[in-house]
């Protein structure tokens, strides 16, 4: 049996994902990063993974059924209740990853000056030149958009984790 190294100190990081409605992309991102963290045996590096939306349109709702179906088809459990971003999130999370440029600008506008979160596009962790860095909103499209978001999230998550483990995230 291989054991994960212990990391009992305070250097575990907290990560959150943000999209508009917190029912399609960011709950999928949360699920994918959690799954990849476990597969790559890096749970000792992460304290918390969460997600929220810039809007409260769907607060209290579960993930969109197409997000659930796509995650299930790819063997990834998803379980989340939608909520809107809060000011306290900017102190709670080391990283807040935006799905698209609009989410990024909205988060930067809201962020209290001097708060700890590093806010960036999750696509900053793209290492595939053929892949789009922006995770576009799949809500009004068909199932292909959800599968394409999944592929991007899986690639960005594994790149992020690889860099986190190497101390270069
Ligand atoms: P998400 O997708 O931001 O990836 O959760 C959306 C969900 C709902 C809406 C827009 C985008 N909406 O307009 O209700």
The one catalytic residue among 18, 19, 24, 71: 19
Give me ligand 1 centre to Cα 163, in Å.
30
The mean of the pLDDT values for the chain is 95
Share of the chain above pLDDT 70, in %: 94
pTM of the model: 0.95
Q: Please answer whether residues 81 and 62 qualify as being in contact, where contact means their C-beta atoms are separated by less than 8 angstroms.
A: yes
Q: Whose CA is closest to 26, among 126, 104, 111?
A: 104
Verify whether ligand 1 is closer than 6 Å to residue 98 (CB atom).
no
Whether 19 is a known active-site residue: answer yes
Give the pLDDT of residue 4.
Answer: 59
The one catalytic residue among 50, 89, 137, 154: 137
Q: Atom 12 (ligand 1): residue with closest C-alpha?
A: 21
Is residue 127 scored above 90 in pLDDT? yes
What is the tens place of the pLDDT at every residue in 3-27? 556 565 568 999 999 999 999 999 9
What is the tens place of the pLDDT at every residue in 153-165? 999 999 999 999 9
Substitution candidate for ligand 1 out of 17, 18, 19, 20 with most atoms within 8 A of CB: 20
Q: Whose CA is closest to 32, among 140, 139, 125?
A: 125
The one catalytic residue among 25, 34, 66, 158: 25
């Amino acid at each position: 049996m291989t054991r994960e190294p212990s990391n009992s100190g305070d250097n575990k990081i907290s990560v959150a994902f943000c999209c508009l409605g917190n029912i399609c992309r960011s709950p999928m991102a949360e699920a994918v990063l959690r799954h990849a963290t476990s597969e790559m045996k890096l749970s000792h590096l992460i304290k918390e993974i969460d997600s929220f939306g810039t809007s409260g349109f769907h607060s209290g709702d579960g993930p969109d059924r197409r997000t659930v179906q796509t995650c299930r088809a790819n063997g990834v459990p998803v379980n989340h209740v939608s909520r809107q971003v809060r000011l306290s999130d900017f102190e709670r999370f080391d990283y807040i990853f935006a799905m698209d440029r609009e989410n990024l600008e909205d988060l930067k506008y809201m962020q209290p000056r001097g708060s700890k979160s590093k806010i960036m596009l999750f696509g900053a962790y793209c290492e595939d030149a053929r892949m789009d860095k922006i995770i576009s909103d799949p809500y009004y499209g068909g199932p292909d958009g959800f599968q394409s978001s999944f592929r991007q999230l899986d690639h960005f998550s594994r790149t992020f984790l690889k860099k986190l483990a190497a101390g270069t995230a």
